[in-house]
């Protein structure tokens, strides 16, 4: 009797995010033009845009790889900013005298949502949002018990932590999508490569050659690299917004919220 090899299906995981503070929920959703105020790109939109970058990089688009490196640097910059803010509020809470038991504040009705991202960069951004939510909770607690004044509370939540997240969310907004050219096209110096070069400009040689890629760059799939055109459904994993909803309208600013 011939033996059959065991077959294992794809791994699946249900992931939900819980937020306890309004500033963190606002940073997740952003703000649409229907509010009558300048549009603000939220982390929800960031995930869709970063997912497009990730997918284009997997199709051997060197311009997408360049964007992915920029996103990785921006994620690290945001992490450093939040860590500094976290250290500041932690030192403030250490002023609570021994004998005064103050429990961690939690929302009686937290915001819970499933999370889908287009790659590891998206997951890192989600964890930064969770960190920001935790920082806001501590800032509000410190303000409630008189360790921070109103100006200090606003500066930490809006001007420091909030600004860092907003700046991250805007990082992939100008990504134009798949350039239409792969590294093979550049090696052949064909019409696709010349057209991409004319539209998007020169690239550093190490990125063009693929010797420098993001730590979280996807494996290049040659069969997908030959495809061109609009983003596929896979590129929009987890997205529920149209293209015109993803990009800020005229007058939008990352500092307006």
The per-residue pLDDT for range 174-185, each reduced to its tens digit, is 999 999 999 999
pLDDT bin (cut points 50, 70, 90) of residue 10 is confident
- Phi (first) and psi of residue 229, to 5 degrees: 110, -155
Encoding tokens for residue 12? 């699946």
Looking at the predicted structure, is the pLDDT value of residue 254 above 50? no
- From CA 153, how far away is CA 150, in angstroms rounded? 5
The 3-state DSSP class for residue 104 equals coil
Please state, rounded to an integer, the average pLDDT across all residues of the chain. 86
Length of the chain: 257
The per-residue pLDDT for range 25-83, each reduced to its tens digit, is 999 999 987 878 888 999 999 999 999 999 999 999 999 999 999 999 999 999 999 99
The 3-state DSSP class for residue 40 equals strand
pLDDT bin (cut points 50, 70, 90) of residue 227 is very low
pTM here is 0.82
- What's residue 36's pLDDT? 83
Closest by CA to 153, choosing from 89, 86, 84, is 89
């Amino acid at each position: 009797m011939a033996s059959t090899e065991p077959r294992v299906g794809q791994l699946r995981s249900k992931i939900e995010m819980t937020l306890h503070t309004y500033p963190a929920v606002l940073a997740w959703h952003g703000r649409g033009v229907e509010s009558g105020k300048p549009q603000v790109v939220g982390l929800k939109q960031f995930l869709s845009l970063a997912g497009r970058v990730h997918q284009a990089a997997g199709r051997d688009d060197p311009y997408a790889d360049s964007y992915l490196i920029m996103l990785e640097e921006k994620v690290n910059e945001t992490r450093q900013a939040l860590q500094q803010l976290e250290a500041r509020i932690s030192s403030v809470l250490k002023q609570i005298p021994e004998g005064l038991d103050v429990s961690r504040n939690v929302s009686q009705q937290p915001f819970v949502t499933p999370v889908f991202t287009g790659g590891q960069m998206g997951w890192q951004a989600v964890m930064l949002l969770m960190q920001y939510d935790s920082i806001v909770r501590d800032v509000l607690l410190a303000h409630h018990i008189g360790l921070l004044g109103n100006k200090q509370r606003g500066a930490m939540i809006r001007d420091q932590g909030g600004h860092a997240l907003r700046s991250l969310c805007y990082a992939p907004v100008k990504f134009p999508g798949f350039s239409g050219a792969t590294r093979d096209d550049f090696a052949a110096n064909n019409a696709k490569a010349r057209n991409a070069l004319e539209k998007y400009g020169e690239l550093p040689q190490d990125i063009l050659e693929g010797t420098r890629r993001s730590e979280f760059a996807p494996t290049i799939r040659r069969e997908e690299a030959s495809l061109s055109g609009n983003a596929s459904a896979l590129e929009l994993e987890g997205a529920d917004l149209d293209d015109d909803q993803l990009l800020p309208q005229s007058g939008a600013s990352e500092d307006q919220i």
